[in-house]
C-alpha cells in the first residue's frame, strides 16, 4: 500500500524536474480526458450532467486543476515523502469541512481516533521529513489538502442527483454503492 500511495508523488517529483507545473497538469488532464471521454460519450454520460455544469466546473477546479497545479509546484521544493504525508491529512480536513457544512455523523471518538492513528501510520511509513527549501511549498500543499477535501463535499451536496444513462431512482437504489 505504501508503494501505491507514494508512487504518484515520486513520478510528479521526477516530472517537475523536466516540465513546468502547468505543462505537467495539462499532460495529466489531457491523458485522462483521452482515456475517459470515449467511455462517457459511448454511454451517454454527458447527458447525465446537463444542468450541473457550474457545480461540475467548481468541483473540477477544487479537486483536480488547482490541487494538481499546487502539488506540482510544491514538489519542486519538498520531498515526495513529505507530499505524501501532508496529503494524508485530507480525511481530517474533510471531517472539519463536513462538520462545518452541518454533518455531525463524523464526530464520533472512534472515527476521529482512527483518522489520527491513520495519519500517524502514514508518518511512520513515509517519515516525517519537514525540510522544505521554500515555506510557500507547504502553503501550496495546504491548498492541495483543502481542495481534495472540498471536492467530495461538492459531490455530495450538488452532484448526487446525477444518474447514470438509462437509470431511474429505483435502479440507482439497487446498484452497488462502490459502482
Provide the greatest CA pair distance for the chain. Answer: 54
Higher pLDDT, 104 or 89: 89
pLDDT at residue 179 above 50? no
CB 14: neighbour CB atoms within 10 A? 12
Distances (CA, A) of 78 to 28, 56, 70, 96, 159: 20, 31, 12, 26, 34
Residues 145-155 have a mean pLDDT of 92
CB burial of residue 101 (10 Å; 0-12, 13-18, 19+): exposed
Domain that holds residue 73: 2-165
Residues 56-66 have a mean pLDDT of 92
CB 26: neighbour CB atoms within 10 A? 14
Residue 159 binned pLDDT confidence (cut-offs 50, 70, 90): confident
Residues 43-62 have a mean pLDDT of 82
pLDDT at residue 103 above 80? no
Residues 13-40 have a mean pLDDT of 89
Report yes or no on 71 lying in a domain: yes
**pLDDT score for 132:** 58
Report yes or no on 175 lying in a domain: no
Report yes or no on 150 lying in a domain: yes
SS (H, E, C) 112-172: HHHHHHHHHHHHHHHCCCCCECCHHHHHHHHHHHHHHHHHHHHHHHHCCCCCCCCCCHHHH
pLDDT at residue 169 above 50? no
**pLDDT score for 130:** 60
Report yes or no on 178 lying in a domain: no
Residue 128 binned pLDDT confidence (cut-offs 50, 70, 90): low
Mean of pLDDT over the chain: 79
All 3 cell numbers of residue 149? 477535501
pLDDT at residue 123 above 60? yes
Report yes or no on 179 lying in a domain: no
Report yes or no on 35 lying in a domain: yes
CB 73 within 8 A of CB 21: yes
DSSP per-residue string spanning 1-17: -HHHHHHHHHHHHHHTT
Report yes or no on 63 lying in a domain: yes
Q: Please name every residue paired with 132 in a beta bridge, in sequence order, or none if there are none.
A: 78
pLDDT at residue 82 above 50? yes
**pLDDT score for 178:** 40
Domains of the chain: total:
1
Report yes or no on 14 lying in a domain: yes
**pLDDT score for 102:** 80
Amino acid at each position: 500500500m505504501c508503494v501505491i500511495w507514494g508512487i504518484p508523488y515520486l513520478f510528479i517529483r521526477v516530472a517537475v524536474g523536466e516540465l513546468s507545473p502547468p505543462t505537467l497538469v495539462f499532460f495529466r488532464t489531457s491523458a485522462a480526458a483521452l482515456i475517459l471521454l470515449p467511455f462517457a460519450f459511448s454511454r451517454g454520460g454527458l447527458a447525465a450532467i446537463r444542468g450541473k455544469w457550474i457545480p461540475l466546473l467548481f468541483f473540477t477546479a477544487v479537486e483536480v486543476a488547482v490541487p494538481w497545479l499546487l502539488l506540482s509546484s510544491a514538489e519542486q521544493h519538498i520531498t515526495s515523502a513529505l507530499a505524501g504525508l501532508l496529503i494524508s491529512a485530507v480525511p481530517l480536513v474533510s471531517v472539519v469541512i463536513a462538520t462545518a457544512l452541518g454533518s455531525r455523523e463524523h464526530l464520533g471518538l472512534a472515527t476521529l481516533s482512527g483518522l489520527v492513528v491513520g495519519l500517524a501510520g502514514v508518518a511512520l511509513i513515509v517519515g516525517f521529513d519537514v525540510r522544505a527549501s521554500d515555506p510557500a511549498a507547504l502553503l501550496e500543499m495546504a491548498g492541495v489538502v483543502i481542495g481534495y477535501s472540498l471536492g467530495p463535499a461538492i459531490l455530495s451536496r450538488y452532484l448526487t442527483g446525477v444518474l447514470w444513462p438509462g437509470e431511474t431512482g429505483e435502479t440507482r437504489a439497487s446498484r452497488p454503492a462502490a459502482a
